[in-house]
């Protein structure tokens, strides 16, 4: 089955293909139990799931950052832009256009916003002029960062740090950004502002996105397609519009079930009722 999946998609239309991967931490902790997903070239795809479902692990498997966590892909394979990622270092992947923006918006707190952005260009060899040009491009998408360019990143707001983290990723001229929980800890209005910028970057710069989010509501409004991950398995996937209308998604992830609002943390009820588990 894995072989069939590996050859079923046209690499011209598909920028990322994850084929039935298993991930183990510390040689024994099985976290991903056969995850498959794909992202169309120029698409925005959401990877949804509760805390601990395996979203970050999936993104790190793709960007080849698991080794630093004592994690390993033990089955399956991942193809980015026509080539297997397993034999490429994280830096090589960045050069080839695949970059991850870490959860928790990691910035260098002691550097200015602008210097943080410039660190994103470290894999480039096309000279200062091109890099300055792209810096200006980042500022057109994130005008707030231009205002704050000389501020020490550690003293900027959570929203500005998330923008800095995305802007820094843009400085590597990515074809695809793996964006890990951009909404985390941010006020709703700021979340909306950041997703609007993601949408513009997708439409105007052609950047493909894989968005890992617990915030199902906002992610399904901006993504075209979504996958729902639970305990290391994809339990449901579909067009975002269809997922938004799915009764289980409404009940357990959007909190708007027919019988009133209900949290998906109500585990007992969740396991008993959920159609995709029966």
Binding site for ligand ADP (CB under 6 A): 25-26, 29, 31, 49, 51-57, 69-71
Q: Which two tokens stand for residue 128?
A: 């200062």
Instruction: Give whichever of 56 and 64 is closer to Mg ion, judged by the CB atom.
Output: 56
| Number of other CB atoms surrounding residue 58 within 10 Å | 27
Report the distance separating Cα 131 and Cα 127, nearest Å: 7
Q: Which two tokens stand for residue 25?
A: 């931490």
Q: Which residues pair with 239 in a beta bridge?
A: 225
Helix 128-141 crosses helix 188-205 at what angle (to 10 degrees)? 130
Min dist CB 65 to ligand ADP, Å, is 11
Q: Which two tokens stand for residue 124?
A: 């480039």
Question: Pairing state of beta strands 29-40 and 14-25?
Answer: antiparallel
Work out the end-to-end distance of the chain between its first and last CA atoms, rounded to an integer number of angstroms. Answer: 23
Instruction: Give whichever of 72 and 193 is closer to ligand ADP, judged by the CB atom.
Output: 72
Instruction: Give whichever of 65 and 145 is closer to ligand ADP, judged by the CB atom.
Output: 65
* Binding-site partner at residue 275 among Mg ion, ligand ADP, none, CB < 5 to 8 Å by type: none
Min dist CB 177 to ligand ADP, Å, is 16
Min dist CB 71 to ligand ADP, Å, is 6
- What phi and psi, each to the nearest 5 degrees, are found at residue 234? -80, 120
Residue nearest to Mg ion (CB): 56
Site string for Mg ion, 79-108 (x = CB under 5 A): ------------------------x-----
* Residues whose CB falls within 8 Å of the CB of residue 161, separated by 6 or more in sequence, listed in order: 105, 107, 153
Q: Which two tokens stand for residue 77?
A: 């394979």
* Binding-site partner at residue 82 among Mg ion, ligand ADP, none, CB < 5 to 8 Å by type: none
Min dist CB 26 to ligand ADP, Å, is 6
Binding segment toward Mg ion, per CB under 5 A, in 12-20, 54-62, 146-154, 185-193: 54-62
Instruction: Give whichever of 60 and 173 is closer to Mg ion, judged by the CB atom.
Output: 60
What's 69's DSSP letter?
Answer: G
Min dist CB 55 to Mg ion, Å, is 5
Instruction: Give whichever of 74 and 128 is closer to ligand ADP, judged by the CB atom.
Output: 74
| Residue 63 within binding range of Mg ion, rule CB under 5 A | no
Closest CA relative to residue 38, chosen from 73, 75, 9:
9
Q: Can you say whether the dihedral through the CA atoms of 262, 264, 270, 274 is positive or negative?
A: positive
Min dist CB 131 to ligand ADP, Å, is 32
Give the three-state DSSP class for 51: coil
| Residue 56 within binding range of Mg ion, rule CB under 5 A | yes
Binding segment toward Mg ion, per CB under 5 A, in 18-26, 50-58, 117-125, 154-162: 50-58
Min dist CB 90 to ligand ADP, Å, is 16
Question: Pairing state of beta strands 29-40 and 176-180?
Answer: unpaired
* Binding-site partner at residue 38 among Mg ion, ligand ADP, none, CB < 5 to 8 Å by type: none
Point out which residues bind Mg ion (CB under 5 A): 55-56, 103
């Amino acid at each position: 089955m894995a072989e069939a999946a590996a050859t079923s998609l046209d690499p011209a239309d598909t920028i990322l293909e994850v084929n039935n991967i298993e991930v183990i931490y510390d040689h024994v902790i099985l976290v991903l139990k056969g995850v498959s997903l794909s992202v169309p070239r120029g698409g925005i795809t959401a990877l949804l799931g509760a805390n601990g479902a395996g979203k970050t692990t999936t993104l790190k498997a793709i960007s080849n950052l698991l080794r630093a966590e004592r994690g390993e892909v033990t089955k399956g394979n991942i193809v980015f832009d026509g080539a297997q990622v397993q034999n490429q270092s994280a830096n090589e992947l960045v050069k080839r256009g695949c970059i991850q923006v870490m959860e928790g918006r990691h910035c260098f707190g002691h550097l200015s916003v602008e210097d943080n952005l410039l660190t994103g260009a470290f894999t480039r060899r096309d000279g200062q002029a091109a890099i300055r040009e792209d810096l200006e491009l980042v500022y057109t998408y994130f005008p707030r960062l231009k205002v704050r360019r000389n501020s020490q990143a550690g003293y900027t707001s959570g929203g500005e740090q998330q923008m800095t983290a995305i802007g820094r990723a843009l400085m590597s001229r990515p074809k695809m950004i793996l964006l890990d929980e951009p909404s985390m800890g941010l006020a709703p209005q700021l979340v909306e502002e950041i997703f609007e910028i993601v949408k513009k970057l997708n439409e105007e710069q052609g950047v493909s996105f894989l968005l890992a989010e617990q915030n199902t509501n906002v992610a399904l409004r901006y993504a075209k397609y979504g996958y729902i991950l639970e305990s290391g398995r994809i339990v449901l996937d579909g067009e975002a519009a269809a997922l938004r209308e799915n009764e289980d998604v409404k009940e357990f992830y959007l909190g708007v079930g027919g019988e009133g609002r209900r949290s998906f943390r109500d585990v007992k009820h969740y396991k008993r009722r959920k159609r995709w588990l029966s």
